[in-house]
C-alpha cells in the first residue's frame, strides 16, 4: 500500500522511525512528512501567516523511504504532502507512533490525532498510533501491530471514511491481552498554572494539572468499554473517530426550541 506517515514528535523521534521502517520492510511504499521538531499538543492548528518550509531528509529512515522535515504543524505536514509533495494520493495516512497516550478527550489537543484527522478531512482513511508511556522506548510491539492492521485494512478497507485512534499499552508483549474496539472516554484534569519567576525577575506561568481519570459520558451507551479503561487493563484500543462534532442529543432537544428562536427573531 502507498502510505503517508506523519507525527507530532518530530522527524528524529524513535516512534516514527520504528513505524516507517517496519512498514517499509514489509514492502509498503512509505513517505514521511513530519515536523522538523516536536509539535505536541498543537491540536489541529494550521500555519497561515508564515511560510512553510520542507527539507528532504536522508539517512534517517529505511533506504526506500522518501522523507521531508516540515517547519509547520502536524496538520500542515499532511496537507502539504497531499497537495504539494506527493505525486498521487496515498491509500492511508498514518500518524505516530506517539510517545505517550492519546486517550479519551485528549484527542482534541493531540497533534498526532490531528495529523491523521487531516487525512480524513481530505478524504483518505487514517490511523493514529500511540504508545501509552512517556518513559518506554519499546515502540516495536506497536509498530508490529500497526503492520498487521495495515495488512488487514488492505484486505478489508474501512466501511466508511473514518479515523482509527489506536493506543498500545507500554507493557511487555506477552502482557498485552488483545486488540479491541472501544469508545472514546472522557478525561478531565484539574488545571493548575504554577506561577514562577525567571532569572530576570519576570513572572511566567507553567501549566500543570492532575488527571481526574476516566469519567463516563452519560450520552454514550456503556455496553462498549472506553479506551481509557480498556488500555488500563492492557488492551490495545481501537477507537473509530470522525470530524463531525454535532451532538445528536443536542440536535434532537434543540429542535424543540425552534419556536422560541422565531419569537426572538421577531417572527411571532
State residue 211's pLDDT score: 61
State residue 46's pLDDT score: 83
Q: What confidence tier does 59 reach under pLDDT thresholds 50, 70, 90?
A: confident
The rounded distance, in Å, linking the Cα atoms of 247 and 216 is: 16
Enumerate the domain spans of the chain.
2-185+215-252
Question: Is the confidence at residue 268, as pLDDT, over 60?
Answer: no
Instruction: Compute, in degrees rounded to 10, the torsion defined by CA atoms 142, 66, 10, 39.
Output: -110
| pTM score | 0.87
Select, from the ranges 133-137, 168-172, 196-200, the one with the highest average predicted confidence (pLDDT). Answer: 168-172
Give per-residue pLDDT as tens, 72-100. 899 999 999 999 999 999 999 999 899 99
Q: What confidence tier does 11 reach under pLDDT thresholds 50, 70, 90?
A: very high
Percent of the chain exceeding pLDDT 90 equals 61
Q: Please compute Rg for the chain using Cα positions.
A: 20
Taking CB atoms within 8 Å and a gap of at least 24, the contacts of 150-158 are 150/1, 150/3, 150/23, 150/26, 150/28, 150/92, 150/94, 151/26, 153/1, 153/92, 153/125, 153/127, 154/1, 154/91, 157/125, 158/125
Identify the residue with better confidence: 268 or 211.
Answer: 211
Give per-residue pLDDT as tens, 174-220. 999 999 999 988 777 666 678 889 899 899 887 766 665 655 565 56
Q: What confidence tier does 255 reach under pLDDT thresholds 50, 70, 90?
A: confident
The rounded distance, in Å, linking the Cα atoms of 26 and 148 is: 10
CATH classification number, 2-185+215-252, choose in 3.40.1360.10, 3.40.1210.10, 3.40.1390.10, 3.40.50.300: 3.40.1210.10
- Output DSSP code: residue 105: G
The mean of the pLDDT values for the chain is 88
3-state secondary structure of 49: coil
Q: What confidence tier does 43 reach under pLDDT thresholds 50, 70, 90?
A: confident
The rounded distance, in Å, linking the Cα atoms of 45 and 41 is: 10
Contacts of 157 (CB under 8 A, 6+ apart): 125
**Spacing of C-alpha 29 from chain mean position:** 21
Q: What is the mean pLDDT of residues 144-153?
A: 96
Give per-residue pLDDT as tens, 24-36. 999 999 999 999 9
Identify the residue with better confidence: 127 or 191.
Answer: 127
Amino acid at each position: 500500500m502507498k502510505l503517508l506517515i506523519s507525527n507530532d514528535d518530530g522527524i528524529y523521534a524513535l516512534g516514527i522511525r520504528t513505524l516507517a521502517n517496519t512498514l517499509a520492510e514489509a514492502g509498503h511504499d512509505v513517505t514521511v512528512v513530519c515536523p522538523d521538531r516536536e509539535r505536541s499538543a498543537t491540536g489541529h492548528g494550521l500555519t497561515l501567516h508564515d511560510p512553510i518550509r520542507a527539507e528532504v531528509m536522508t539517512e534517517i529512515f529505511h533506504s526506500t523511504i522518501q522523507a521531508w522535515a516540515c517547519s509547520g504543524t502536524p496538520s500542515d505536514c499532511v496537507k502539504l504532502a497531499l497537495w504539494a509533495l506527493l505525486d498521487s494520493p496515498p491509500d492511508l495516512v498514518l500518524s505516530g507512533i506517539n510517545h505517550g497516550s492519546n486517550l479519551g478527550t485528549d484527542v482534541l489537543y493531540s497533534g498526532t490525532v490531528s495529523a491523521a484527522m487531516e487525512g480524513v478531512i481530505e478524504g483518505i482513511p487514517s490511523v493514529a498510533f500511540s504508545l501509552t508511556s512517556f518513559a518506554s522506548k519499546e515502540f516495536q510491539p506497536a509498530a508490529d501491530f500497526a503492520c498487521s492492521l495495515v495488512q488487514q485494512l488492505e484486505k478489508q478497507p474501512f466501511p466508511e471514511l473514518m479515523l482509527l485512534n489506536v493506543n498500545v499499552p507500554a507493557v511487555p508483549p506477552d502482557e498485552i491481552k488483545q486488540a479491541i474496539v472501544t469508545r472514546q472516554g472522557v478525561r478531565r484534569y484539574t488545571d493548575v498554572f504554577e506561577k514562577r519567576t525567571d532569572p530576570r525577575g519576570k513572572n511566567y506561568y507553567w501549566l500543570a494539572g492532575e488527571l481526574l481519570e476516566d469519567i463516563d459520558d452519560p450520552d454514550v451507551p456503556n455496553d462498549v468499554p472506553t479506551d481509557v479503561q480498556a488500555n488500563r487493563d492492557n488492551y490495545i484500543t481501537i477507537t473509530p473517530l470522525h470530524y463531525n462534532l454535532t451532538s445528536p442529543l443536542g440536535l434532537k432537544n434543540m429542535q424543540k426550541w425552534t419556536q422560541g428562536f422565531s419569537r426572538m427573531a421577531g417572527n411571532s
